[in-house]
Amino acid sequence: MLSAQSRHLMTLATSITVVCSPRPRVGRTLVARLLTDFFLINGRDVAAFDLNVEPELTQFLPSHAKTAKVGDIKGQMALFDRLIAEDATSKVVDLGPGAFEAFFSVAREIDFVGEARRRSIVPVILFMIAPDKSSADAYAMLRRQLPGATLVPVHNEAAGKAQHRDLFPAGGVASVPFHLPVLAPGLKKYIDKKPFSFAESSTSSMLGMPLDAQMELQRWMRRVFVEFREMELRIMLANLQSSLQNQ
């Protein structure tokens, strides 16, 4: 049984979560938005970084997200220095196909995962799975080259049944697949309006959202946030177990 102090410290542990895919239109930015708002709803300081050719995260969450680049040394240093800063801030990276290879190439070169862990920062990769070979190869590469990161396969249920899940095996107790539930028909037009924050969805009536749609959105959000809480708990317990074994 964890002490109250241990639970408090672990709940507030700084994390870096990279939401990524080598493929476009798989729900990556939506997951990054939800995770950023999940942290905000839970009273945490959060900084989000948009690494897309055509930035979207910054348009939805202009107060908490900013664009970043890894195409040159200056951009790389600015981003990675910010990610591993010991500032008690949870970081979220929306990593699109255009910067996927460059980001992880730099991460390997500078031992980004190792450096994060040395600073007691938990590195997590949420990988949006897809049935194509390029996605499976990219996932296998991350498992092989970044073993110190918690790699979590994310199944967007809007894409249908995950019949290809065997191509994305979990890499440990903390890597149980994350499921993004299907959004009810008719809600997408509301959450796609920019800016839109799930953390401020109680004011969504200002967007002309009917009461029944607001209630359905709240139900959907609760399902997603339960997934995030369970994922966090698994990661925290895995890290605690690892810490105890290394003592």
pLDDT tens sequence across 152-177: 999 999 888 766 778 898 766 677 88
pLDDT reading at 59 higher than 90: yes
pLDDT reading at 52 higher than 70: yes
Q: How far apart are CA 51 and CA 103, in angstroms?
A: 9
pLDDT in the model for residue 5: 36
pLDDT reading at 142 higher than 60: yes
Tell me the pLDDT band of 143, cut-offs 50, 70 and 90: very high
Closest by alpha carbon to 125, among 163, 171, 86?
A: 171
What's the alpha-carbon Rg for the chain, to the nearest Å? Answer: 18
Report whether 23 contacts 135 (CB < 8 A). Answer: yes
The first and second tokens of residue 151, run together, are 């790699």
Q: Which alpha helices (DSSP H) does the chain contain, by range? A: 4-11, 28-41, 57-60, 73-83, 97-109, 112-118, 133-145, 188-191, 211-245
pLDDT in the model for residue 1: 34
Mean pLDDT of 104-116: 96
pLDDT in the model for residue 172: 66
Owner of token pair 């348009």: 59
**Which residue segments constitute the domains of the chain, with CATH numbers given?**
11-245 (3.40.50.300)
Query: Backbone phi, then psi, for 43, in 5-degree steps?
Result: 75, 25
pLDDT in the model for residue 174: 74
Tell me the pLDDT band of 4, cut-offs 50, 70 and 90: very low
The percentage of the chain sitting over the pLDDT mark of 70, rounded to a whole number, equals: 88
pLDDT reading at 12 higher than 80: no
pLDDT in the model for residue 204: 53
Q: How far apart are CA 30 and CA 33, in angstroms?
A: 5
Q: How far apart are CA 145 and CA 150, in angstroms?
A: 12
Tell me the pLDDT band of 11, cut-offs 50, 70 and 90: very low
Q: What would the pLDDT profile of 69-101 be if each residue is shown by its tens digit?
A: 999 999 999 999 999 998 989 999 999 999 999
Tell me the pLDDT band of 209, cut-offs 50, 70 and 90: confident
Report whether 107 contacts 145 (CB < 8 A). Answer: no
pLDDT in the model for residue 71: 92
